[in-house]
Amino acid sequence: MPQFEGNDLYIEQVKLSDIAKKYKTSTYVYSKSKIVTNFENYKKALGSREGLICFACKTNSNGTILKLLAKLGAGADTTSGGEIYRCLKADFDPSKIVYAGVGKTAEEIEYALKSRIFMFNVESFEELDAIDKIAAKIKIKAKIAFRINPHVDPDTHSYIITGKKGTKFGIPYEEAVKAYLAAKQKKNIEILGIHSHIGSQILDIDSFRLAAQKIKKIVNIVEKNGIKLEYVNFGGGLGVEYKKDQKAPSPKQLISELFPVFDENKKFIFEPGRSIIANAGHLLVKVIYRKISGGKSFLITDAGMNDLIRPTLYEAYHEILPVKMTNDKKVKTDVVGPICESGDFMGKDRMLPFVEQGGYLLITCAGAYGFAMSSEYNSRPLLAEVLVNGDKTMLIRKRAKYEDLLLNEV
């Protein structure tokens, strides 16, 4: 996490106010050492068990960050042809790429097969048929796991629950065995394992344990039918501490809870996203105006909901820190963006010093689903991204220009 030294807020050994001056704002800023530590924690938790840690690149697909993780030995969890493309460009070994998603198109399936990815996490009977047909056409056998929806209901925002009955994800628990028996009949399909991803920002281990127990029952029945499941993939979902009073389980706690459910010879795959990159990245913004309106104080910043949509979309909480601490009295303030929508806020009713105009704030823990979900809404060019490594900084994405807004128009 960023920390204060004296009155200045730092990431690693670099003052955030210096980053703001050098790269302008708003800018996403990442700590390299935090990314490495977060990933290494998963590797350590896996220990000597055979398996893969596949970074869910939907959380953050910056090429430099992907390359860093690929170099550390990560695999990739992808959800579109575009993500597979990015991962290949970032030097991920294709044999460590897994591919989930309810709506894989024929073009994407063919691209994935030709790229020789590790396996598809198949989400429906219809998708199984499509993959089998395309695999036959191009004469490349498709390796698969089924994504099973185990019907558990973790305590998280309803928009990001994926393993509950009635959501669009995976094959319902009750139909799992039927799916494996169907796949066994397909000539162009090789069954490798079983997958489940129950949702995101989950802080209770119990939901994962419950899902694992249900998956284990399916594994038993499927294997009794002569189908060997070499890999068990638990997806991602481990939450992070956005608020001081939240307590996130460590990868070690999560993984050591799941290991005993399965035989020792099972290979594991995990697909963490948020728990690797969220607290390694932050959004550095400038206060354009401070104003009092209708008896309320507002800090209006140069970042809007187009740059970080999580507060708008999920009423997500991100702690906001001043980049320079002052002795000014703290006041209850809304931190908002410049977009023409009332839902354009970064934080409401925050106790903050009433930072001067031109001063900077840090919206913390924004490395996951931050830049990745940004858009050009209100014709606002996409932001710059900077990686901090010790006392050095490196631009890893240029700030887009007005001309870029028109790039693909004809």
Ligand X SMILES: Cc1ncc(COP(=O)(O)O)c(C=O)c1O
Ligand Y SMILES: N[C@@H](CCCC[NH3+])C(=O)O
**Site residues for ligand Y, window 269-328 (CB under 6 A)?**
310
Interatomic CA distance for residues 270 and 267, integer angstroms: 10
Residue 369 is a binding residue for ligand Y (CB under 6 A): yes
Does residue 399 have a known ligand-binding role?
Answer: no
**Site residues for ligand X, window 296-335 (CB under 6 A)?**
none
Nearest residue by C-beta to ligand Y?
369
- Coil vs helix vs strand at 28: strand
Residue 299 beta carbon to ligand X: minimum distance, rounded to whole angstroms: 29
Interatomic CA distance for residues 277 and 342, integer angstroms: 29
Interatomic CA distance for residues 93 and 397, integer angstroms: 23
Residue 160 is a binding residue for ligand Y (CB under 6 A): yes
322 binds, among ligand Y, ligand X, none (CB under 5 to 8 A by kind): none
Spell out where 32-170 has E strands. Answer: 51-56, 75-78, 97-99, 119-122, 142-149
Interatomic CA distance for residues 91 and 84, integer angstroms: 11
Nearer to ligand X, 193 or 237 (CB): 237
Give the pairing of strands 51-56 and 75-78. parallel
170 binds, among ligand Y, ligand X, none (CB under 5 to 8 A by kind): none
State yes or no: cis peptide before 26, omega within 30 of 0: yes
What is the 8-class DSSP label of residue 199? B
Query: Which range in 125-133, 136-144, 203-211, 235-243 contacts ligand X by CB under 6 A?
Result: 235-243
**Site residues for ligand X, window 90-129 (CB under 6 A)?**
100
**Token pair in block for residue 14:** 């670099």
Residue 190 beta carbon to ligand X: minimum distance, rounded to whole angstroms: 20
Residues in contact with ligand X, total (CB under 6 A)? 16
* CB neighbour class for 322 (10 Å; exposed up to 12, middle 13-18, buried from 19): buried
Residue 199 beta carbon to ligand Y: minimum distance, rounded to whole angstroms: 8
| Residue among 83, 123, 132, 271 that touches ligand X (CB under 6 A) | 271
Nearer to ligand Y, 73 or 82 (CB): 82
Residue 236 is a binding residue for ligand X (CB under 6 A): yes
- Alpha helices, DSSP H only, in 72-105? 81-89
**Site residues for ligand Y, window 179-218 (CB under 6 A)?**
200-201
Does residue 369 have a known ligand-binding role?
Answer: yes
Interatomic CA distance for residues 7 and 353, integer angstroms: 13
- Binding region for ligand X (CB under 6 A): 56, 59, 77, 100, 197, 200, 235-238, 271-275, 368
Residues placed in the known binding site for pyridoxal 5'-phosphate:
237, 271-274, 369
